[in-house]
Structure formats: structure tokens, C-alpha cells
Structure 1
Amino acid sequence: MKLDPRRTSLLLLLLFLVFKIIFQYTVVNPAYDLHRDEYLHLDMGYHLTAGYLSVPPFTAFNSLLIKWLGGGYFWVRFFPALYGALTMVIIWRMVRFLGGGLYAQALALSVFVCSAFSRLNVLYQPNSFDVLMWALFCWLMMLYLQSQQGKWLLWAGVVAGAGILNKYTMAVLVAGWLAALLLSSHRRIFREKNLYLGGLMMLVLISPNLIWQVQHGFPVLHHMSELAATQLVHISRMGFVTDQFIFFLGGAFLVVAAFVGLLFYWPYRIYRVVLLMYVLVILLMIYMRAKSYYALGLYPVLIAFGCAYWERVFRNGWSRYLRVLWLAVVVVPFVYLLNVMFPVLNPYKAQEKAAKFAALGMLRWEEGKDHALPQDFADMLGWKELSQLTMQAWQRIPEEARKHTLVMADNYGEAGAVNYYNRDSMPAAISFSADYVYWFPRLDTLQYIILLGYEPDDKYRPLIGKIEKVGAIEHILAREHGASVYLLSALSPQVPVLLQKGVWAKQQSYDWKQPVQ
């Protein structure tokens, strides 16, 4: 009985997708909590608005959906896995569009799974959806280049708008494409009215967020300046370039194959603008000292080109028998490094693998120093412990005074974690960090403060009658190790006044005209 090629293709794709989603759940050891960023993003679902300090609003609406689904770990981890799987569908279609067969498609999805994309898809952050939007935008531009049909530019405008509503880095991709088209033989696209209609559709989609930014003094510019001053300044430009190949381990040769195919394979000549776009975006990111993973969205399209071209190179004669070898080159290094790329091992076992982590540069945190665990791993520890200590502090407050209590955290991770684990049992925690500064409750009847993080400064001690330490995070490998919970009572009437002034001053500081402190 002859197999139906389309049915076989669909079945193989479904197997990859099911494997992908299941895989994302199996690579996180139960010893880990959620990541500090995930708690912030989940809290946004309780404070819907058209904009936030660090991200556009898409994440908040995604978090609202997670909330409606119950808010458990399963759903938090489901969406980045889903967006990764959908990116695989786009790659599958790209490979077929470029003339690749089942082998090229299977190779492409193997590269995607056995790479930094799977690590990205572990965490509930804007990054997984960002990669999906970059891949979809590139796919639409390829369809336009091949057909010259303006409808693809309209759809590209919609995707660009949706992408910017998720993460502002989408604008870098759009700029890269426009610059590359202008510098290439495709510059006639600028006479295409649908290009401008697509741009208009993009602007309409992002207009609520633009209005919010204007109303709040463009806090995104302040956030970017702060990010550049505190994190990006530590990033090595050479390290950025090196990471582009480390991301794919044994599959890096297929990225190189994409370059070769785009440069020398005649049927790909109309797509050479993709290579120019890639170079322009990479150069811009190097100039900006961007984090290396910001560029990951460029690679789905290159994986498709690389795998389709590689299949052609090894389709005839004895070279066909090397196909299994190329799959092994992709998969084996990934399997070998699985327990360091992902939080598979419990934290103390992971600490024993320090040499492997160091070899991949994973022990260096955003401040430029090496630590015992990768930063993402350390950012997934200690949160339940902190939330339990906070609950203990809450239970010490007389019941009649609980409605006059403020739960105040040193950073957004602490606030978000306490809210995730204790939301139905106590008031929501707030902080002067990130978007929490906009979420403060009324302070005029304040009697107690549960303080998370560090003891009050000496200048505030005279205003606090009693400071009681409830406990501290004891997990030695947690990034928040030593962070404590204090119960403050017998407060001076000046305390709420000073807090309100602090909230106003912090909100004002997000105006882009204010210098980074």
C-alpha cells in the first residue's frame, strides 16, 4: 500500500509538535519555582491597561487568559511551549515553500528543538511569542518576494503590529527589512501602496500603547536607558557574535548552510535580501549592546533555508547515506548538554556541573560576574519560602488591623511571588520596582507594613516604633538568598506621607526627560 505523502508529512509534523510541548514540561525539575519575571508578567493580568513600563500589553492579556484557566504551573508553561510549537509550524511551511522534502523539514524541526529555542520556551516571558512573530513576518515577506502580491504586505503590517504589542524589539526587525529592501534590487517595493497601508495598519494596532506611552512620558525610553546603564553595559560585543553559533550547538552548520545557499544557490537569488536584513539587524544589535538572545527571532527563516539547501546538497549518490549523520550531529551534542541547558537537575546537583555551565558561559549574570548557578536557575528558587514567611507575618497582625496593612517588597520578583502564592489570603504586595509603583493602594490609614527584602534604612527607623524580623530565605543557591521579612508596627503618621511622596517621585522619574538615577 502506497503512503500518502501529505498524510505522512502531517503525521510527522504532529509528532514533532506533541514531542515539543511535552518536552518543555519534562526539562524543569520540580525543585524549582517559577522565574522572577514570570511572577511580574502574571501580576499584569490583574492590572489590565494599554501599556507597562517594561513590556507592551500583550503579555498582560495572555496572563489574564492564564488566570481564567486557573493560573497553575501547567498553564504558565503551556503558552511559551505553544508559541514554540507554532514557530515550528511556520518553519515547516517555509522549508516546503523552498522546495525541501520530509528530510529537510525533519532536520529543521530537530535544529529548532535542539537549540536555545527550547530553553527560551521554558519561561513565560514575551520572548517566545516574539520569535513566533519574527518568523511569521519573515515568512510573509518571503511570500511577497516570490509572488509580488500586495496582500502579503498587509498581513505583514498586522503581524508587525501584533509583534510590537508583545515586545518592542519587533520594530528592529521591521527596520532591518525596510533598510535591506531599500539597499537591494527590491527597492521598487516602496512604490507599492500596500506597503504603506500595511504600515498604517501596524500604527492603528499599536496606537493604544503609543497613546499610553505619551500620557506617561514614554517610560519605555527610561526603561531602555536604565537597562543600558545597569545590564547592557556589561555585555561583550564579541560575546554577542559568539553566542549566535553557540545557540545551535551541533546544528550551527545549518545556519552557515543558509548563508551559502542564499549567496550561491541560483533559485534563492530573490531571497538574498534576507541575508542583508540579517546582517543589518545583527549590526544594529551589536551597536546597541543588545542581549544575544534578542536576535533569536532571525533564525527560523535561516534554519528553513539552511535545511532545504542541505537536503539538496546531500540528495544524490552515496551522500544520501550521510543524512542520518547530520541528524546525529544536531541531536547528540544537545542531549549531552541537556542537564546544563535546562533546570533538569535539582539545584545542588546542578551546582556540581559548574564546569559544564562555565564552558558555555552560563554562570555569568547580567552584572558581568560569575556565580554558582545560571542566573535563570537562581531566579527560580526561594519564592515559595519567601511567600510562606510573608504569610507568617500576616498572621501575626491583629485581625481588625489587617485592612490597614501594606505588603511592600524590595523588587518585582518578591512582590509577584507573594501575590502568586498568597493572593486569596492577604492583600496584594507592591513595590517601588517596575510596574508595581502604579499599583499602590490607599495609604492614609496605614498601621502595619510587611516589608520584604532589607531592613529599613537608619533615617526611617525613628518613624517605626517596632521592627520584628519574621525570617529570611535560607536557600543558599537562590538569587534572593538572605532576603528577609519584617513586620513594622507603631508607625508614625509621617510614614504614609513619605510613602505617597515616594510613589509620586518614582512615577515622575519614568518620564523620559528625567536622567537615570
Structure 2
Amino acid sequence: MPNAKKVLYLLTVLKIILPFLLQHSYYQPHRDEFLYLAEGQHLSWGYMEVPPLLSFFAWLTHCFGGSLFWIKIWPALFGGLTFFLAGRIVLMLGGRSLALFLTFLPFATQFLRLNFLFQPGFLEVFCWTLCAFTLLNYILSERNSWLYFFGISAALAILSKYTSIFYLASLLIALLFTPYRKIFLNRHLYFAGLLALVIIAPNIYWQYMHRFPVFTHMKELQETQLQFVSRKEFLLGQLKNNTLVIYLPLAAFLFMFTVKGKPFRIFGIAYVLLISYMAWMHAKAYYVLGVYPILHAIGAYYIETLTARRLRAIPYVLAGLTCALAIYVLPLIMPVMKPEQLAGYYKRSGLQKNGFKWEDLKQHPLPQDFADMFGWKETVLKTAAAYKTIPPADRPYTVIYCPSYAFAGALNFYGPALGLPKALSTNASFLFWMPDRYNVKHLLLVAHNIPDENDPVFRQFSTGTMMDSLNNPLARENGIRIMLYEDADPRINHIIETTVAKEKAKFTRTGR
């Protein structure tokens, strides 16, 4: 066992540093990362799109200087902690080094990108695994302290991503189908639930005071994205996400039918319940990634156990096949080359000759996540060049506006070093940070679509000139334009103030 513990620590460290070794230095932060980094500069108990937990780590990132390393260290670190929890489950079962290595394989493949993007997903997967870990420890030991740890884990899961509610509900419902339903007669479960409620109460209050923007966001997500995800696509996505290690969850389900696997059946039942509900809701495949680490751990242990006396070569053959396939598909998982090289590799290798479907339902040369990771700095440099053409005396009366939170975030990330003022946007949580008063003479617009002559704001300017645009065909935001609008009518300030106040009022309770 001591040797197995050393292996666990070694693999945990490797998990943390691995994505840093694989991602090509060409790439910049992902479009969504700019939003979450901005939230770290406006700490709150809630935001338009996500719960507040991620913003704390964004705040820490800014405290440490805001470099790309500090952006990426948090998902990498929590990826390592997630593997550590899965490894602890292996050791609890009596597994050894081979089972730990098998458990590591999905973390070195399908979870690589998740654990290098500063997005809520890495926290959600960690918290789901922590929930499973604490609940399992209670089942095995019946120590009430584990229920309180479960309550804290559940609260953190909800504060990382609201979809965690569905996983927690699946776990609790699954308990009803097992002998462990007696947990509902334990008053400590309800005390733990009360503790969880106390932890998330500030976020609930924030949602209430802002008219529950989470429901507005979910409705928009359903209308613009989820309705185009078929149930078949979601279910096939589960196979696709586990292609390299499909033997692990399959082995886990087999183990649950054994006597020793009895305490683990709740996780199998919870899986079926969650997958069924998410398919019905037209969810995206990656929404349920957090349910897999415990299944991988259980499956790895069972494979090691089954082959301990006979067929000892099988785990090594499976691991070898996974590693060989992982090398082949690695450029799909991580951006290990420059965009042009990746696009060429996909065609030559046959991985995706016809392109990748994005949210616009069209085929493109790169995966959408990768195309979202460059073009930002170039656009900021072009915006800074346009800003410098404005006479210095007029710059205090110049506003930079972006209809997209991504460009507002990118400008505020790179812009200060170039002398740019804070960019504004009414998109996503940026709406809450819009000023109430304005004194606008000029405006720099960074957008794909240029307002027509009847737009109530832009018609107030005497001239509009296109200063530059992004020319990078592989970037998702290719063609973004930088427009300079000059010499505004003073009436524009009242129009902007009224429009912003009206939009903010949709998310503010009267008398607040």
C-alpha cells in the first residue's frame, strides 16, 4: 500500500503539470475565460450566467498578476485534486498501482481540456467527485461527520454550477432504491442540508434581488443552443467522451452487481437517472462529465482484481491501446500545434476531414474551443491603434463598446497595458457593470454587425469610419470590425443612460 500511495501522489503531480506541457504557446485565453476573469474584478454573490465560486479564483488570479499561468493553474490544480479523490477511492477498495494507473488514463485524455480551461466545469467535476467521495465514506463508515462533509460538498457544487442540483437529486433518489435509504431517517442528513442551505443562501438572495437571471440565462441557452442538440447526439456524446477508456465505466457497472460492489450501486442508479434526465433536456454531452471519475475509479479497481491471478496481460493491453489512441487523437483534445498545422493534421489523419460543427451549426476547420483561443490580442492591438488616432484631449470622452462579452473581456485584459480605457458591454454580466452616467463624444465599436442608420444611439454621431478588422480565417471571430464614431450630439448621453437603466431594471427589484 505505501508504494501505491507514492504512485498516487506522483500521478497527481503529473496530472497538474501535463496540460502545461501539451498546449502550444500560440494560444491565448478562451473567449469565456475573459468573462470569468472580469467577474473576478467585480466580486459578488452572483452573476448573470454562473454561480460565484469561480470568481473567487479569478480574483486570486488578478492578485497574483493575471498571467496565463495563473489563469491555467486553477483548473490544472483542481484536475489533480479530482484525480486524487478518485485514487483515494481505488485505495479504499484495496486497489494497487495498476488500478491507479488505469484510473489516471481518462484524466490524461478526456479530462485534459476541461482541466486547462478556466471555466466552471473544472470546479463542477471536482465537486461532484467530492460529493460522491463523502457520501461513499458515510455509507462505508456510517460516521455522521461525513454527512456534514457531504453537505458542504453539495453547497460548493451548487456554487460552482447550478446543474449540480440535478446530480445531487439523482444521488438522493438513487438512495431510495437501495438499503441505504435509511439515511433519510438520520437527522444529521437534514442538519447537513441546512448547513448547505446556509452556505448557498447569499447566492439565493442575490438571485432573488436580481429577479433570478439564472432562469433568463437558461431560457436563452435553451433557445440558442440546446434545442439543436438531439437526444441521440447527447447519448452518443457519452460514448465519444469515453471512447479511449470505455472499459472503465463498463467494468464499474459489472462490479456493482457483485457483493462487494453493493455500496456502489447508488452511483450506477444515479448515473442512469441523470443521463436519462439530461437526454430529455437536450443537454450537451459534457454537462455530465462529473459523474465519471468515481466510475473510472471503481472500474479500474475491478479490472485489476479480475485479472490479478489470470489474464494479467489484459490491463496492460488495454492501457497500451488507450495510450496509442490517445497520441493519435491528442490534437483533438488539446491544441498542441498552431491552428494551421492542426487543420492540416485533421485532414491528413482523417480525424475530421469534413470539419467540426460549431454552435452556428456549420462545419469549420478547427474545434470551436480552439478557434476561440486566438485573435483576441490582435484585435486589442488594432483597437489600441485606432484609439491613438483620437486627439488626446478627446480621449476622456471616448467610449469603447463591444456587443460581445468576449471582446469586452479581452480588451479589459490586454487593454490597460496599451493605455486603453475600460471597455463596456451590455452583454452578460457586463450589463451590471455599465456606468449610470455618460459624457460621450466619440465611440469605438468592436463588433461583427454594424448598426444601421436608424439605430437610436449611433445615429447621434456625425461620422462613422471603419478603422480595421481581424483577418484570421481560422479564428472564430474572424472579420470582427473596429469602427470609430465621432462628434456625437449631446443628446446621446441621455439616450444611453435611459437605455442602460431600462436594461438593468429587468434584473433589479424595486426598492432595492
TM bucket normalised to smaller: over 0.9
Q: Within the alignment, does 1:246 sit opposite 2:240 as a pair? A: yes
C-alpha offsets along residues 312-334 of structure 1, whole Å, 9 cap, x if unaligned?
110003x1133321211222111
Q: Within the alignment, does 1:387 sit opposite 2:380 as a pair? A: yes
Deviates more, 1:74-83 or 1:174-183: 174-183
Q: Within the alignment, does 1:258 sit opposite 2:252 as a pair? A: yes
Name structure 1 gaps, 5 residues minimum.
513-517
- Counterpart-to-counterpart distance in 1, 2:479 and 2:429: 24
Deviates more, 1:497-506 or 1:69-78: 497-506
Q: Which aligned pairs between 1:186-197 and structure 2 lie closer than 5 A?
A: 186-197=180-191
Deviates more, 1:377-386 or 1:346-355: 346-355
Give the 3-state SS of the residue equivalent to 1:15 in structure 2.
helix
Aligned residue number for residue 28 of structure 1:
23
- Counterpart-to-counterpart distance in 1, 2:361 and 2:144: 46
Q: Within the alignment, does 1:343 sit opposite 2:340 as a pair? A: no
- Counterpart-to-counterpart distance in 2, 1:303 and 1:99: 15
Q: Within the alignment, does 1:406 sit opposite 2:399 as a pair? A: yes
Q: Which aligned pairs between 1:76-475 and structure 2 lie closer than 5 A?
A: 76-114=71-109, 116-263=110-257, 265-317=258-310, 319-355=311-347, 359=352, 363-424=356-417, 425-453=419-447, 454-460=449-455, 461-475=458-472
Per-residue deviation, 1:80: 0.6
On the 8 A contact 1:474/1:482 being kept in 2, the answer is: yes
- Counterpart-to-counterpart distance in 2, 1:269 and 1:434: 45
Alignment RMSD: 1.8
- Counterpart-to-counterpart distance in 1, 2:476 and 2:502: 28
C-alpha offsets along residues 172-207 of structure 1, whole Å, 9 cap, x if unaligned?
111111111123322211111111111111111111
On the 8 A contact 1:28/1:344 being kept in 2, the answer is: yes
Per-residue deviation, 1:135: 0.4
Measured at CA, do residues 139 and 360 of structure 1 come closer, stay the same or move farther in structure 2, by a change above 3 Å?
Answer: farther
- Counterpart-to-counterpart distance in 2, 1:220 and 1:416: 21
C-alpha offsets along residues 371-406 of structure 1, whole Å, 9 cap, x if unaligned?
121110111121011101111122122222222221
Name structure 2 gaps, 5 residues minimum.
none
2:488 maps to amino acid: L
Per-residue deviation, 1:442: 4.5
- Counterpart-to-counterpart distance in 1, 2:253 and 2:175: 18
Deviates more, 1:220-229 or 1:455-464: 455-464
On the 8 A contact 2:209/2:508 being kept in 1, the answer is: no
- Counterpart-to-counterpart distance in 1, 2:94 and 2:6: 19
Q: Percent identity?
A: 34
C-alpha offsets along residues 449-503 of structure 1, whole Å, 9 cap, x if unaligned?
1111132322135311121221001111111111111111110123222222322
Q: TM-score, normalising length from structure 1?
A: 0.94
C-alpha offsets along residues 21-41 of structure 1, whole Å, 9 cap, x if unaligned?
222112222222111000111
Per-residue deviation, 1:511: 7.7
Deviates more, 1:449-458 or 1:37-46: 449-458
Deviates more, 1:146-155 or 1:394-403: 394-403
On the 8 A contact 1:92/1:108 being kept in 2, the answer is: yes
- Counterpart-to-counterpart distance in 2, 1:357 and 1:485: 37
Per-residue deviation, 1:86: 0.4
Per-residue deviation, 1:235: 0.7
Aligned residue number for residue 59 of structure 2:
64
- Counterpart-to-counterpart distance in 2, 1:507 and 1:220: 15
1:297 maps to amino acid: G
Deviates more, 1:179-188 or 1:356-365: 356-365
- Counterpart-to-counterpart distance in 2, 1:21 and 1:96: 20
On the 8 A contact 1:406/1:449 being kept in 2, the answer is: yes
Measured at CA, do residues 357 and 53 of structure 1 come closer, stay the same or move farther in structure 2, by a change above 3 Å?
Answer: farther
2:145 maps to amino acid: K
Give the 3-state SS of the residue equivalent to 2:356 in structure 1.
coil
C-alpha offsets along residues 87-141 of structure 1, whole Å, 9 cap, x if unaligned?
0100110011122112111211123212x21121121101111100000100111
Measured at CA, do residues 360 and 342 of structure 1 come closer, stay the same or move farther in structure 2, by a change above 3 Å?
Answer: farther
Give the 3-state SS of the residue equivalent to 1:469 in structure 2.
strand
Give the 3-state SS of the residue equivalent to 2:454 in structure 1.
helix
Measured at CA, do residues 510 and 375 of structure 1 come closer, stay the same or move farther in structure 2, by a change above 3 Å?
Answer: farther
Aligned mate of 1:9, from 4, 19, 25? 4
Give the 3-state SS of the residue equivalent to 2:140 in structure 1.
helix
On the 8 A contact 2:470/2:481 being kept in 1, the answer is: yes
C-alpha offsets along residues 45-64 of structure 1, whole Å, 9 cap, x if unaligned?
11111110001111111111
Aligned mate of 2:481, from 460, 471, 484? 484
- Counterpart-to-counterpart distance in 1, 2:180 and 2:43: 41
Per-residue deviation, 1:144: 1.1
1:494 maps to amino acid: R
Deviates more, 1:268-277 or 1:123-132: 268-277
- Counterpart-to-counterpart distance in 1, 2:251 and 2:131: 22
Give the 3-state SS of the residue equivalent to 1:456 in structure 2.
coil
Q: TM-score, normalising length from structure 2?
A: 0.95
- Counterpart-to-counterpart distance in 1, 2:105 and 2:231: 29
- Counterpart-to-counterpart distance in 1, 2:217 and 2:353: 29
1:504 maps to amino acid: A
On the 8 A contact 1:357/1:374 being kept in 2, the answer is: no
- Counterpart-to-counterpart distance in 1, 2:331 and 2:359: 22
